[in-house]
Amino acid sequence: MRKSVFLKMSSRFFAKLRDFDVYPKTIQDYQVKTLAGAAVSVCGIILMVTLFLGELSLYLSTTTVHELSVDTSRGEKLQINFDVTFPRMPCSIISLDTMDISGEQHLDVTHEVYKQRLDEIGNAIADKTLEHNIQSNKTMIRKMMDGSANASDFVDAPTTTPSLSAETECGSCYGAEDQPGDCCNTCDEVRDAYRRRGWAFFNMENIKPCKDEGTRLKEQEEKNEGCRVTGTLEVNKVAGNFHFAPGKSFQNIGFQLHDLLNFQRNVVQHNVSHVINHLSFGKKFPGRINPLDGLSRFTEFKSGMYQYFIKVVPTKYAYLNKSVIDTNQFSSTEHFRKIEGLQRGLPGVFFFYDLSPIMVTFAERSNSFLELVTGVCAIVGGVFTVTGIIDSTIYTGQKIAKKLQLGKLH
């Protein structure tokens, strides 16, 4: 008895439940298949598959979002990577100096700086010492450029400065000796002795080592050689500048002076035409654009001062695997000033950089699986609904057309 009552209640429940079916079925014998419906179905399937592949590609790819924030980093270093070619200045006269607003200066930098001599048409000259250093450091320079170098890469890094042979004679310091017996066999040693004394160092034509060096440098210039300078600098993360200029810099009574007196008669021959093959600040990251890469500047004047004013923007790049790169981007403007004599400025290429207080953070993002499922459902449902409407419209139109032909439609 109870069983029969339960069955009746169940049948009534399922009968009521059928009323909620929003997909009513028709008997197959009453279904009509048309050629237009088949064409619409095929087009719908093709569209559905195409949209699904696009959604799948979007799911498998990564997107990059960015945000701006205040740069709160302190006490960090700024890495500067450079590769500059000077077609009309020999390597022997090019000096690289850096300085910043904190007062730190590095004059005639040679550490992690590599020079390659070039002939008149830009081909590398087989200088055994420089060629050996550049070839042995080619991998290291590439690592420095993309930020993958580590401390072990620099353990036995050779330097471009050749070792001096032992001198048998003791050269004069021209009155600047600290104590009897001091020797000065090179122009740099005489200059350092003068600096320690606090004396001005200008009359170099009467100092034999400096005069000899000036003669050798003049001979280098007459060969019309060029130079390619590559390397990296580690400087304080504050505003400053670095520059390439002919001659050598030194400090005298707290001021930086640039030794151009060896070249005073031929200063107009210091052609500072150059090609910036590469310039970047910090490690490489996906999508970074270095606006000065490949820039060529050739001057019609014999000497001048190129100035690049750079705004460095601190940047972080976060990969999907949670690793983060601290690096930088930059923008640049430039100015050129013709120099006709020593009184109007120092010939060379100057890069003045300043740091933005705003940091840009790039972060890689990928779509979740739930977003993929949602997109696929939307594609299937949308295409199915639209094709159904199109098929119904075509079928209804065909029926009306037939009735008009038979004259049954008034």
Instruction: Answer with the residue of higher pLDDT: 265 or 311.
Output: 311
- The confidence score (pLDDT) of residue 155 equals 42
Buried b or exposed e, range 263-296, using 16+ CB within 10 angstroms: beebbebbbbbbbbbebbbbbebeebebebeebe
Least confident span in 6-15, 41-50, 100-109: 6-15
- The confidence score (pLDDT) of residue 268 equals 46
Average pLDDT over residues 272-292: 93
Give the model's confidence band at 105: pLDDT under 50 very low, under 70 low, under 90 confident, else very high. Answer: confident
Closest CA to 329 of 293, 289, 361: 289
d(CA 66, CA 318): 10
- The confidence score (pLDDT) of residue 198 equals 64
- The confidence score (pLDDT) of residue 208 equals 76
Give the model's confidence band at 38: pLDDT under 50 very low, under 70 low, under 90 confident, else very high. Answer: confident
Instruction: Copy the structure tokens of residue 363.
Output: 């972060």
Is it the case that residue 80 has pLDDT exceeding 90? Answer: yes
Average pLDDT over residues 178-198: 78
Number of neighbours of residue 261 by Cβ within 10 angstroms = 18
Q: Give the residues across from 77 on adjacent strands.
A: 236
Is it the case that residue 166 has pLDDT exceeding 50? Answer: no
d(CA 348, CA 322): 43
Cα Rg, the chain, nearest whole Å: 38
d(CA 407, CA 199): 119
Instruction: Copy the structure tokens of residue 135.
Output: 């070839």
Instruction: Answer with the residue of higher pLDDT: 103 or 328.
Output: 328
d(CA 137, CA 152): 13
Number of neighbours of residue 175 by Cβ within 10 angstroms = 9
Q: Is 210 left (phi over 0), alpha (psi -120 to 50) or beta?
A: alpha
Q: Provide the strand spans (E) within 212-323.
A: 226-236, 240-246, 248-252, 255-259, 274-281, 295-297, 304-318
Closest CA to 171 of 201, 217, 209: 209
Instruction: Answer with the residue of higher pLDDT: 333 or 75.
Output: 333
- The confidence score (pLDDT) of residue 219 equals 53
Is it the case that residue 343 has pLDDT exceeding 80? Answer: no
Give SS3 for 228. Answer: strand
pLDDT, tens digit, for every residue of 212-250?
666 555 555 556 788 999 999 999 999 999 999 887 655
Share of the chain above pLDDT 70, in %: 71
- The confidence score (pLDDT) of residue 318 equals 93
pLDDT, tens digit, for every residue of 201-221?
666 667 777 776 665 555 555
Classify burial at 198, counting beta carbons within 10 Å of its beta carbon; exposed 0-12, middle 13-18, buried 19 or more: exposed
Give SS3 for 106. Answer: strand
Average pLDDT over residues 97-121: 89
- The confidence score (pLDDT) of residue 168 equals 53
d(CA 242, CA 181): 38
d(CA 270, CA 297): 14
